[in-house]
Structure 1
């Protein structure tokens, strides 16, 4: 009997130095799809995803830029998605984090491969000339990944206080497990990095700013949304075959979903309002009761956020990081394709 699986797609920031060569390693029999992406990039006068992946060293000035990172991450995730053993797993739903929504649409069939690339590349290149604002990450948990309401309240109060400064615009951008991603203008970023109380979780020091990230999912991107509607028409969207869960936790069912509404959400609300990845995962586990969660690569950066969400919901009696780690070692519920040992459980 097949196991039920929910597929989770990565967002920006998932292709880092450790992932250099990921595509070369895993592309295998999916060359024809990746060759299409390279061809489209070449036609646009852009460096191809294969060229970026094959570089001798990781170059943050290239690999982290939106116009490059988005297409590269899409290519890696595409190869991973097609590597899932469909004789072993039934994909019952797909969701993703931030840019992962575009990948969700692609892999569910709401966009054909050319239009999927077009959406990913267009949205990733919107701020090619100048990045609007930025993102700062801050935790609202303890060392055991348990949600800390007091720290969350402190964060909200700090945002309110800093927004009293006339030049600041600060918003919640992404709910990422028990971590909050904040989007802000340049003045707001400076205030957040200066005023937020330093916190250390494990080996990571917070707050910190994400390199080459804009203030995604905030009102600062209203102009980006308007441009997207002008450049990406309704003809791109088509009937899809797998249920998808958006950044509000709303389930779009195949065949019955209104494609105009899907486009409106994708280019409108999703661009300028907070993306609640935590709720997406909660809905995925509670509504679809999967046997496994499969995290597409590159990398495994969403593993922590997914684990924190499981802890918030005490899913499978997971109440702490210790519980989650123990389960992952014995009978992993979360399978990250960026990990060789877990990849084999998905692809073989």
Structure 2
């Protein structure tokens, strides 16, 4: 049935996606089929004196204090994503490109073939620990779209201007961290974050949300993490991608023309220290490769809204708002979330 294969863009999720509902999912969904891969990841953890992925996934109850910490969250998320990736039915889907959100870029490197699945775990595991090497600070999430996921006129620009102004004040660090289309994540030190909470204009939906356990990712405050990554994770882990990879600038790393040392330099430089434009990465990927569907591997499916909002932002296939997107999902789903049982069945065969 090779001729009937549908083309797919695969988008790897980032931090905050392995939650209470995902506890035990790695063993349940993958334990039998991918025992050898899980054993490799467990061995890598034990070599570093860390609790195994199997132990963490098999915990009796979900602990925010433990499971949301970078050195635990990152390997769990990578494992769930990588094993979901290996579960995609390639008779049904031809993956034409990969992308990721923030930490999901490390997963995308493995999905795209620029690093091996085992080395992708090594990178994600190391960066989970490294991501905790930073000064005080964190991230705040603000919504910039209305109930139909359409941009609130002028709100994004007002927020970006406010953040730029706060960032210039003595002792204040604040900058855009991740652009999630309908939501913006800002990161900075405690002074910068406090000023943003005090001065942000009213935004739709929820109040500004401080992301638990997150550092000031994708800002210059992460320079310690970048330095550690370059010292610890050699360029020899990297090769050219087998599948095009779209990064957090909207840059496409193409087959045969991507220098592994440049991928390494981006991954442990710009990607850590500068904003991650997730919305742009999705928009560039769909415009360049026109996939039939977008596949979101687990854990969870919380990135689905941001993917939909990125598509709405460019009116992809006439999808102009949340109502349009939901109607499309009901009739002929364009986004297949592997964290949802009924959509997972369509992807794994």
The answer to whether the superposition gives a TM-score over 0.5 is yes
Give the TM interval when normalised to the shorter protein.
over 0.9
What pairs up with 1:220-239 in 2 under 5 angstroms?
220-239=221-240
Kindly indicate whether the alpha-carbon contact (under 8 Å) linking 2:131 and 2:222 is maintained by their aligned counterparts in 1.
no
Checking the alignment, whether the CA contact within 8 Å between 1:80 and 1:297 is kept in structure 2 is: yes
Which position in structure 2 is the counterpart of 1:249? 250
SS at match of 2:268: helix
Question: 2:59 maps to what in 1?
Answer: 55
Distance 2:92 2:43 in 1: 33
**Which deviates more, 125-134 or 173-182?**
125-134
* Structure 2 CA distance for aligned equivalents of residues 326 and 126 of structure 1: 42
The 1-side partners of 2:325 and 2:135 are apart by 37
SS across alignment from 1:172:
strand
Residue 119 of structure 1 aligns with which residue?
123
After the TM superposition, which residues 120-139 of structure 1 pair with which residues of structure 2 at under 5 Å, given as runs? Answer: 120-128=124-132, 132-139=136-143
Q: Aligned-pair distance for 1:127? A: 4.4
Which residue pairs with 1:346 in the alignment?
A: 347
In the alignment, the residues of structure 1 paired with residue 118 and residue 293 of structure 2 have an alpha-carbon distance, to the nearest angstrom, of 30
Q: How does 1:55-134 map to 2 (within 5 A)?
A: 55-128=59-132, 132-134=136-138
> What is the 5 A alignment of 1:147-186?
147-186=151-190
Which deviates the most, 59-68 or 220-229? Answer: 220-229
Q: Is the 8 A contact 2:144 2:204 kept in 1?
A: no
Structure 2 residue 19 is matched with structure 1 residue 10? no
Equivalent residue for 1:25?
28
**Superposition deviation, residue 130 in structure 1:** 6.1
In structure 2, what is the equivalent of residue 197 of structure 1? Answer: 201
Contact 2:78–2:124 (CA<8 Å) still a contact in 1? yes
Q: Aligned pairs, how many? A: 345
Please list the CA deviations of residues 290-328 of structure 1 after superposition, one character each: whole Å capped at 9, or x if unmatched. 000000100001100011111111111111101111111
Alpha-carbon separation, structure 1, partners of 2:230 and 2:134 = 20
Instruction: Report Cα offsets for 1:8-52 as digits up to 9, x if no partner.
Output: 000011111121121122114111111110111112111111111
Instruction: Write the distance in 1 (CA, Å) between the matches of 2:121 and 2:78.
Output: 8
Q: Kindly indicate whether the alpha-carbon contact (under 8 Å) linking 1:4 and 1:290 is maintained by their aligned counterparts in 2.
A: yes
TM-score (norm 2): 0.96
Alignment of 1:39-50 (within 5 A): 39-50=43-54
Which sections of structure 2, spanning at least 5 residues, go unmatched? none
Work out the CA distance in 2 between the residues paired with 1:198 and 1:57: 36
TM-score normalised by L of structure 1: 0.96
Aligned to 1:306: 307
Give the equivalent residue in structure 2 for 1:321: 322
The Cα shift of 1:129 comes to 6.4
Give the Cα–Cα distance (whole angstroms) in 1 for the partners of residues 167 and 242 of structure 2: 43
Q: Which sits farther off after the overlay, 259-268 or 21-30?
A: 21-30
Q: Structure 1 residues 40, 53: closer, same or farther in 2, change over 3 A?
A: same
Distance 1:32 1:48, change over 3 A: same
1:110 Cα deviation from its structure 2 partner: 1.0
